[in-house]
Structure 1
Amino acid sequence: MGSFDAITPGTDLPRYARELVRMHDAVISGSRFPMQPRTVVARSWSRVLAAGLSPDRANTRAVLTLQDIEQRRHRSPLHHVIDDLSRVLAAVADSSQMIMVVTDADGAILWRSGDAKVRRHADDLGFREGATWTENTVGTNAIGTALVEAVPVQLFSGEHFEQSQHPWYCTAAPIHDPRTGELIGVVDISGPALTLHPALTALVSAAVEIAEGQLLHRQHERLRRLRETAMPMLASLTGPALLIDDHGWVAHSTGLSPTGRIAIPNTERAVHVPGLGLCTAEALLDGWLVRPCATTTRIRMTLDLSGPPVVITTGDENDWRTPLSPRHTEILLVLHLRGRRGASVTELSTAVHGDPDHAVAIRAELSRMRRILGSLVQSRPYRLSDSVELTLDLGDAGRLCECAFVRTIAGPSLRNLIDHLPTNW
């Protein structure tokens, strides 16, 4: 069984469903039961119980208006690939007592198709277009749990939190925007629990790969059009330069080795580009022209923790101040403390979240952090670039001030790490 598969080939589905329902009732009520929920299910149940949801009734279903649904469809990048998803999944869903559902990043169902009888039963459950299927609204379900865990999730019968969902299975996988790495939605196949087939996880994963591949193809076409539009200007340039789109993807490079992506620039701060050092950016139609602004490639940065966290990047003539979120502050602290040894994605997950199971979320945060700070973090293992000189500003109160501040943002493993730091760190 894969780590996110709910069943194995040959599973006696009726018997296993009865065992899961008994386990659900025992665990939720605090009783003992020989079977324990899978790790991903146990984490979700803990979150849902903490949110105050009830397992023995249908929790409130918020439903969007038709106008809101259409607006979200238009804004979602997935509207470009919904036909591709339908070709892969909808035909199977129509003939196999299942339905296909596609949500946005908020868990709102934007598209639904499949077996008419199953759709009617789904309507009774509130599993319809416009409904929000996050953990906080309807309890443990594959869509909501996939959004939280940022990984594929399959649930069977009593693994759902709400008893009304026990007659169902659901197999969901997140879809990411290849331009940004951000989660933009979830594709799900659901149906009567006793019709679940072990191959569904692979089918859903294949559909996600096709969708992300089509989105990547569209991105390559956008870069080609940007390059063609800017080519007359690029031909007149002297010295190294990059032409990038609004997401930092390089459409053309002059005077340096090609690179795939850099941090997203703006006109108010410099951006670090490997091989060029600090650069300034000039806004173009649908993109940016990036050129060096300094003669040195050494980047001097200060992580200022004397107040709200901010990174100060020192250039030849100006300093650029970049506010950091608590999560990015945690990651930057861990990388600084690890030094040139760096950290694996599982080590970062453990330091920030307290367990190694949030690798996908860590990679997404690192991608966002690169867009804010520039390409300052290297991978395999993750570590600060050799060109970065990072110092900490702890304020007048020194280490005690820093520890008090970090304890307001850090996860348990990171707090433990800080407790065991050398006194002269």
Structure 2
Amino acid sequence: MSVPHAVPPGRHLPDYARDLVRMHDAVISGTRPNLRPRALVSRSWSRVLGLGLTADGRNVRAALAEEELARRRHGSPLRNVIGELRQVIGAVSDASPLLLVVTDADGVILWQEGASPVLRRAEDLGFRAGAQWTEANVGTNAIGTALAEAAPVELLAGEHFEQGQHPWYCTAAPIHDPRTGALLGVVDVSGPALTLHPAIGALVETARRLAESQLWRGHRQGLERLRRSAEPLLAAAAGPALLVDDDGWVAHSSGIAVGDRIAAPADGQVIAVPGVGACIPERLADGWLIRPSDRGRTVLLDLDLSGSPVLRLRSGDAEWHRPLTKRHAEIFALLHSAGPAGLTAQALSRALFGDTEHLVTVRAEVSRLRRLHGTLVETRPYRLADGVRLAVHRAPGPS
């Protein structure tokens, strides 16, 4: 999803920035603005006003202690791509007064890079490593609003809620784990408002794509290392087997035709692999060896919606039941109704949210579902996997 540009085509940047400041002043004072805020900005301002933040002062900016910041940096998968992001932005920042910021999923700034004058101005604003730049902390800003909207955001001058941020533009995009769809953080480029260029959005999108592609490359390299380390065991294994990592991604398969991923294994839990049946996970040093436990090939599911959603599985002699979130239960029920034809991401978004504007959310939810329950659900289109039979039991209606 590309970053929407904050400046309408044909508008003169300095004039438009001044108009946005006037718009902000009018809205905050309760008068009618000559320029209406964008829908994105209106939604964000409504959220922060509801939180009781003030526009004419500086809201609280408590930075994390160095120990906590170091812990978050070490625990973030983005630490493996920050070097590449610095190279992409660094070539531009030498010639332009801009700032690269990378946060975690909580909006905490983990890394900053940029020209010294811009870094000093950012420091004066409390825009520094360890600070949390969510809407709840500092009002409408590209980082916090991108997190709230789950979408790329570009804001200019008076579109920021706090007046102290009006001299800035900021352009941000969420970064997701390409393996799981989980939100990892946000990449942001900020700078003086009157230096905003249409290419900034493309720069941020390039940074996002680079981060996710590098994460995916690291993932593939990890699977290859797992395969090489387990080669002696695989050579000695009799019968069909799978080698997977801790998230269920397949490093090697022998005699079992599956896709790229199964359910994340866990000690003592039987895994259902469609087309294979119940399988037993065996822990290895860096992954799992998965082998069939019996000859059963059909996976029978019961989705119980009569109370808190529960999914029950039976395959051969193996049985288990797991609680479901309401969203995952709704997805299973929709795919059951859709039948073998399944649903596209757009159709699933429309069924869940009433529109097609939630594709990122839909893909993330299905990715989480597949991580928990494996390839019971297939993709492109979303559908129940071959060999899976689902029955849905709903609460009885009023008599």
TM-score under structure 2 normalisation?
Answer: 0.92
In the alignment, which residue of structure 1 is the partner of 2:93? 93
Whichever residue aligns with residue 53 of structure 2, its letter is L
The count of residues paired between Structure 1 and Structure 2 equals 398
In the alignment, which residue of structure 1 is the partner of 2:15? 15
1:341 to partner: Cα distance: 4.8
Q: After TM superposition, list the pairs within 5 Å mapping 1:175-186 onto structure 2.
A: 175-186=175-186
Whichever residue aligns with residue 319 of structure 1, its letter is E
In the alignment, which residue of structure 2 is the partner of 1:399? 397
In the alignment, which residue of structure 2 is the partner of 1:280? 280
1:135 to partner: Cα distance: 1.6
Q: After TM superposition, list the pairs within 5 Å mapping 1:167-316 onto structure 2.
A: 167-257=167-257, 259-316=259-316
In the alignment, which residue of structure 2 is the partner of 1:126? 126
Cα separation, 2, equivalents of 1:337 and 1:27: 47
1:333 to partner: Cα distance: 3.1
1:258 to partner: Cα distance: 6.2
Mean CA deviation greater in 381-390 or 111-120: 381-390
Please say if residues 273 and 374 of structure 1, whose CA atoms lie closer than 8 Å, have aligned partners that are also in contact: yes
1:86 to partner: Cα distance: 0.6
Cα separation, 2, equivalents of 1:133 and 1:305: 39
Tell me the C-alpha RMSD between the 2 structures. Answer: 2.3
Please say if residues 262 and 375 of structure 2, whose CA atoms lie closer than 8 Å, have aligned partners that are also in contact: yes
Q: 1:77 to 1:201 in 2, by over 3 A?
A: same
Identity of aligned residues (%): 55
In the alignment, which residue of structure 1 is the partner of 2:165? 165
CA deviation digits over 1:5-60, x for unaligned, max 9? 21256531111112222333444555444533333333323332333323232222
Cα separation, 2, equivalents of 1:30 and 1:345: 41
Cα separation, 2, equivalents of 1:35 and 1:350: 32
CA deviation digits over 1:87-125, x for unaligned, max 9? 111332243111111111111001112121211221121
Q: 1:43 to 1:384 in 2, by over 3 A?
A: farther
Please say if residues 278 and 318 of structure 2, whose CA atoms lie closer than 8 Å, have aligned partners that are also in contact: no
Please say if residues 3 and 154 of structure 2, whose CA atoms lie closer than 8 Å, have aligned partners that are also in contact: no
CA deviation digits over 1:161-215, x for unaligned, max 9? 2222121101111222233221211111101111001001111111222222222
Cα separation, 2, equivalents of 1:62 and 1:108: 11
Unaligned stretches of 5+ in structure 1?
Answer: 401-422
Secondary structure at the aligned position of 1:208 is classed as: helix
Please say if residues 149 and 361 of structure 1, whose CA atoms lie closer than 8 Å, have aligned partners that are also in contact: no
Q: 1:236 to 1:52 in 2, by over 3 A?
A: same
Q: 1:264 to 1:64 in 2, by over 3 A?
A: same
1:269 to partner: Cα distance: 3.1
Cα separation, 2, equivalents of 1:354 and 1:148: 19
Cα separation, 1, equivalents of 2:246 and 2:227: 13
TM-score under structure 1 normalisation?
Answer: 0.87
Whichever residue aligns with residue 78 of structure 1, its letter is L
Whichever residue aligns with residue 166 of structure 1, its letter is H
Cα separation, 1, equivalents of 2:201 and 2:34: 27
Whichever residue aligns with residue 349 of structure 1, its letter is S
Mean CA deviation greater in 278-287 or 346-355: 346-355
Mean CA deviation greater in 273-282 or 247-256: 273-282
Mean CA deviation greater in 45-54 or 196-205: 45-54
> Within the alignment, does 1:390 sit opposite 2:390 as a pair?
yes
Cα separation, 1, equivalents of 2:109 and 2:307: 41
Q: 1:28 to 1:308 in 2, by over 3 A?
A: farther
In the alignment, which residue of structure 2 is the partner of 1:70? 70
Please say if residues 182 and 364 of structure 2, whose CA atoms lie closer than 8 Å, have aligned partners that are also in contact: yes
Cα separation, 2, equivalents of 1:34 and 1:399: 52
Cα separation, 2, equivalents of 1:159 and 1:50: 17
Secondary structure at the aligned position of 2:236 is classed as: coil
Please say if residues 245 and 251 of structure 2, whose CA atoms lie closer than 8 Å, have aligned partners that are also in contact: yes
Cα separation, 1, equivalents of 2:320 and 2:186: 37
In the alignment, which residue of structure 1 is the partner of 2:365? 365
Please say if residues 267 and 280 of structure 1, whose CA atoms lie closer than 8 Å, have aligned partners that are also in contact: no
Please say if residues 81 and 215 of structure 2, whose CA atoms lie closer than 8 Å, have aligned partners that are also in contact: yes
Cα separation, 2, equivalents of 1:143 and 1:203: 16
CA deviation digits over 1:390-411, x for unaligned, max 9? 223335xx135xxxxxxxxxxx
Q: 1:313 to 1:137 in 2, by over 3 A?
A: same
